[in-house]
Structures are given as C-alpha cells and as structure tokens.
Amino acid sequence: MTSLSLILAHTLAPVIALQGVGQAPMAIENDAPETWTLEYPRIIQPFIEDYRRCLTGQMRRVRGEADFEAQHRSDVPRCMDELEVAEDGANRVLAGRGEYTDYTPADITEVFEHVGRIHIARGADLDNQFTFLMRTAAAARDNYEAERPEGLVLELHDASVVKAHTDSTAAAAEAAYDQREGARGAND
C-alpha cells in the first residue's frame, strides 16, 4: 500500500521579536513542539490539497487579540462544500482501485477531519505566539520603567524632534567649536 506521510510541525520558523527600545532581538523558539502526522494513500493527495487550500485561503484579521484559533475554527464549516466534494472524490478513486480496499469511507472521513484539526491547531499556535509576544513586550516595558534612571534621560525621538532640537542648539555648538579650535591654534 502506497501512503504519504505528512508531518506538520507546529514550530513555525523561530520568530524574531524586539523586546523594547535599546534591547537586542530575541529568538523565540517553541520548547515543546507539537507534531501532527497524517497518513493517507498518495492517490488522494489532490483531494486533500483542495480541502487544505480552502482552509488556508481564508482571510485573517489581525485585531490585536489572540483570536486566530477561532478564525481557523470558523474555516472548517465555511469549507464544508469543498470537504464533501473532496471526500466523495477520494472515496470514488479508492473504490476503483483494488489495492485500497482496506480504506473505508469512515477512514477517509477521519483523514479529512484530521486535516481540519491540524488547521485549528495552527490557529491555536499563532494565538500562543501572539500572547507570548504581548507578555514579553509588557515585561520589557515594566522592566524599563522600573530601571529607568532619575535625572537626565536620553530617549529615542523621531527625526522631527531631533531636527528641531539640533536647529535650536546649532549656533551654540558652532560657537563652542570655534572657541575650541581658536584655543588649539593659539597653543600651537
């Protein structure tokens, strides 16, 4: 029996995140990756791909909250027509082949349901990554505020603030430079 093993790791490529102003980038890796294995006859791969394409082709909205699992979960009923067509096609193809008699329609239904569960788990993984990044950013902000020195603090401003400050102090800086160069020339 020819079958295809599809392994989907829940560890998306390591995410790079900046923890806060002045802090170095940090690689975020999943310490406990979740791996899903799905085996099915290679001959039904086009039907699996059609269904997966429907699931992954939906629009995602980034709302600033962890709701990707809910969005992925809502894709399953939205792709019900594609699921029925894909299951029927897979069952027809397997029924016409003698070497796949051990695959029942219930087995094929389980394969497609498993594809849906994997899709939902991907959304949950995105939610976990999002909440981790939000917690990390909040901790970095709190750490910065707790360790912020009293008195003179140099902060990062956008270019317009820096330019305005530079323009207002340019004359004094030029005078100090001229005075220093004049004193240096007199000493030579």
DSSP assignment of 78-105 equals HTHHHHHHHHHHHHHHHHT-GGGTT--H
* 104 backbone dihedrals φ, ψ, rounded to 5°: -90, 165
Tell me how far apart the alpha carbons of residues 27 and 15 are, in angstroms, rounded to a whole number. 6
**Model confidence over 9-47: pLDDT tens digits?**
333 333 333 333 444 444 555 566 678 888 889 999 999
Eight-state DSSP code of residue 61: -
- The pLDDT value recorded for residue 99 is 84
Q: Please name every residue paired with 36 in a beta bridge, in sequence order, or none if there are none.
A: 8
Report which listed range, 7-21, 28-42, 115-129, 155-169, is most confident. 115-129
pTM: 0.60
Q: What is the mean pLDDT of the chain?
A: 78
